């Protein structure tokens, strides 16, 4: 199950205030973007609603944006149109990427924003990372961000109701995450996300989706990258922090 077709409609309520615009989203990756040549060819392979892809295009890069969810790809196209950004979009699961693009044809591949845990188990994750790796030219870089699953699992199954309303498009919403943590790391876990919008007449409009995910330890991810010839060049992993970024270079 890939999901996100229902959440695509309300995804802005799930994006942090600091990363709402394409320029702000891309600025969060300034450190890696500055390593790129000016006309770099980049792929965002879980583009969501397109903020990063449109932001990168605004910096002059040749951008391709892909996602498994058709609704997410449509939202990326709409955002690109709104900003007059030129980019190519394709609906593609990670394992299908090499059907669409030549190997060694990208300078940088992004897989950011809590996406990789949707790959099905260790096998699915390896296949996904392998596809991303194959698309990178030698010395190209894979940029991944991840939840710290060690922390998420330690918290157990729970309901996480945000402590403030989020305002987007003139409307407030309460965001709720329900975590179903399985007994073992390798089992399928679930996150149910609900966005409850309060409308002008005080009725509540709820959009929710149950998503499958397969957690992984930071060390596991590191060895999988190594096996694929991706050398970890930078990592912000901190076992006490909610999330981290890994930048790995193709040898």
Listed ranges 34-42, 98-106, 112-120, 156-164: which one lies at the site for ligand SAM (CB under 6 A): 112-120
Q: In the complex, what is the shortest distance from the CB of residue 136 to ligand SAM, in angstroms, rounded to a whole number?
A: 17
Q: Count the site residues for ligand SAM by CB under 6 A.
A: 17
Q: How far is CA 107 from CA 36, 37, 151, in A?
A: 7, 8, 32
Q: How far apart are CA 51 and CA 15, in angstroms?
A: 10
131 in contact with ligand SAM (CB under 6 A): no
Q: Which of 43, 68, 109, 194 binds ligand SAM (CB under 6 A)?
A: 68
CA–CA distance, 87 with 56 (Å, rounded to integer): 9
Residue 46 contacts ligand SAM per CB under 6 A:
yes
Footprint of ligand SAM on 211-250 (CB under 6 A): none
Distance of alpha carbon 119 from alpha carbon 130, whole angstroms = 12
**Contacts of 131 by beta carbon, 8 Å cutoff, 6+ apart:** 94, 95, 96, 97, 98
Chain centroid to CA 139: 22
Determine which residue in the list 94, 106, 149, 216 makes contact with ligand SAM, applying CB under 6 A.
Answer: 94
Q: Please check whether residue 212 is in contact with residue 189, taking contact to mean a CB–CB distance below 8 angstroms.
A: yes
Distance of alpha carbon 226 from alpha carbon 229, whole angstroms: 5
Is position 133 an interface residue for ligand SAM (rule: CB under 6 A)?
A: no
In angstroms, give the least distance from the CB of 113 to ligand SAM: 2
Q: Is 22 in the site for ligand SAM (CB under 6 A)?
A: no
- For position 48 contacting ligand SAM by CB under 6 A, the verdict is yes
Q: Which of 4, 13, 106, 149 binds ligand SAM (CB under 6 A)?
A: 4
121 is written with which tokens?
């188990």
Site for ligand SAM, rule CB under 6 A:
2, 4, 15, 46, 48, 67-69, 72, 93-94, 112-115, 118-119
């Amino acid at each position: 199950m890939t999901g996100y077709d229902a959440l695509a409609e309300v995804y802005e309520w799930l994006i942090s205030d600091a990363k709402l615009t394409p320029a702000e989203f891309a600025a969060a990756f300034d450190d890696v973007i500055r390593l790129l040549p000016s006309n770099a060819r980049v792929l965002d392979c879980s583009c969501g609603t397109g903020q990063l892809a449109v932001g990168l295009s605004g910096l002059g890069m040749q951008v391709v944006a892909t996602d498994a969810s058709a609704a997410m790809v449509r939202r990326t196209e709409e955002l690109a149109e709104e900003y007059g950004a030129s980019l190519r979009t394709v609906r593609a699961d990670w394992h299908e990427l090499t059907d669409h693009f030549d190997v060694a044809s990208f300078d940088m591949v992004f897989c950011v924003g809590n996406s990789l845990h949707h790959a099905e188990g260790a096998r699915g994750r390896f296949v996904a990372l392998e596809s991303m790796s194959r698309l990178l030219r030698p010395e190209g870089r894979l940029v991944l961000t991840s939840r710290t699953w060690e922390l998420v699992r330690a918290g157990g199954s729970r309901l996480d109701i945000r402590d403030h309303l989020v305002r987007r498009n003139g409307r407030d919403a309460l965001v709720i995450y329900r975590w179903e943590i399985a007994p073992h790391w390798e089992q399928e876990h679930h996150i149910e996300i609900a966005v409850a919008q309060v409308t002008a007449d005080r009725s509540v409009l709820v959009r929710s989706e149950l998503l499958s995910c397969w957690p992984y330890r930071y060390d596991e991810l590191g060895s999988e990258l190594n096996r694929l010839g991706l050398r970890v060049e930078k990592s912000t992993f901190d076992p006490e922090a909610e999330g981290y970024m890994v930048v790995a270079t193709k040898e």
